Homo-oligomer: A and B are copies of this chain.
Amino acid sequence: MKKIEVIQNVLEANEAIANRNQKLLNDNKVFCINIMSAPGAGKTSLILQTMKLLKDKLNVGIIEGDVASTVDAEKVQSQAKAVVQINTRNMPESCSLMAAMIESALKGMPLDSIDVILIENVGNLICPSEFTLGEHKRVVISSVPEGEDKPIKYPLIFVDADAVIVNKIDLLPYVDFDRTAFRRSVEGLNPKVEVFQVSCKTGEGIEKWCSWILEQLEANVTRQ
């Protein structure tokens, strides 16, 4: 019983900080998306493709979460208004970004000149589902070579997602991936979710995904 109490407190503390983060973002009219996936599903590639289409329309800030290294931050640096790398290796939770880490990152970003922040969470389909960061939208990437059974095996992250992106559709001819079964599993967990099919290698489907971001951003700014 005691252990469960400790975990509960961590989650409550996290949520309080996440609420503060969202208020800070709203005050600065910054729209924020939390991008989650298994390792190697294509979070960084999606960010790079998204920047290519949106960088002339919007000022984009990036927060990169990784256990170790600055590999991803280096890849996106030239395209973004501001980039912060968070390494979770020596933090109490290394398997996910937490709201307190985002709070620190936001302090180092010029929020008054940023329209959108894309957060690349740590590569993991489990822990990030537990920690809200203050984001406006939660997006899960599932890549074709991982197989269509991921929503069945890691349901929680799909239940709370606003959008699910099926990436690496260029590999469909070479691997077994049942798109209908995948969509059925996702919609069974989360009937209102948006599902996008993209290839970050060829660029297919990226335009539709970027249109969704622009729509969500507009709806969010209007709502405030």
List A residues at the B interface (Cβ < 8 Å). 3-4, 6-7, 10, 38-40, 66-69, 71-72, 89, 92, 94-95, 122-127, 143, 145-147, 149-150, 152-156, 168, 170-171, 174-175
**If the complex has contacts A126-B124, A145-B168, are A153 and B95 also in contact, measured as CB distance less than 8 A?**
no
List the 9 shortest-distance A-B pairs measured between CB atoms, nearest first: A40-B146, A145-B145, A95-B126, A38-B39, A69-B152, A38-B38, A40-B147, A66-B153, A39-B125
B68 x A146 contact (CB < 8 A): no
| Partner pick for A71 among B7, B71, B153, B175, CB 8 A cutoff | B153
* Chain B residues near A92 (CB-CB < 8 A): 3-4, 7
* Chain B residues near A150 (CB-CB < 8 A): 39-40
A155 x B67 contact (CB < 8 A): yes
Copies of this chain present? 2
A2 and chain B: residue at smallest CB distance? B6
**If the complex has contacts A126-B124, A145-B168, A171-B145, are A68 and B155 also in contact, measured as CB distance less than 8 A?**
yes
Q: How far is the CA of A156 from the CA of B68 in the complex (A)?
A: 9
* Chain B residues near A149 (CB-CB < 8 A): 69, 71
In the complex, how many angstroms separate the beta carbon of A121 from the nearest chain B beta carbon? 12
A40 and chain B: residue at smallest CB distance? B146
| Partner pick for A127 among B127, B145, B155, B171, CB 8 A cutoff | B127
B145 x A38 contact (CB < 8 A): no
**If the complex has contacts A39-B38, A40-B143, A145-B40, are A95 and B152 also in contact, measured as CB distance less than 8 A?**
no
27 A-B residue pairs with CB within 8 Å:
A3-B10, A3-B92, A4-B92, A38-B123, A39-B146, A39-B150, A39-B154, A40-B145, A40-B146, A40-B147, A40-B150, A66-B153, A68-B152, A69-B149, A71-B149, A71-B152, A89-B156, A95-B95, A122-B126, A123-B153, A124-B124, A143-B145, A145-B145, A145-B168, A145-B171, A171-B175, A174-B174
A126 x B68 contact (CB < 8 A): no
* Chain B residues near A71 (CB-CB < 8 A): 149, 152-153
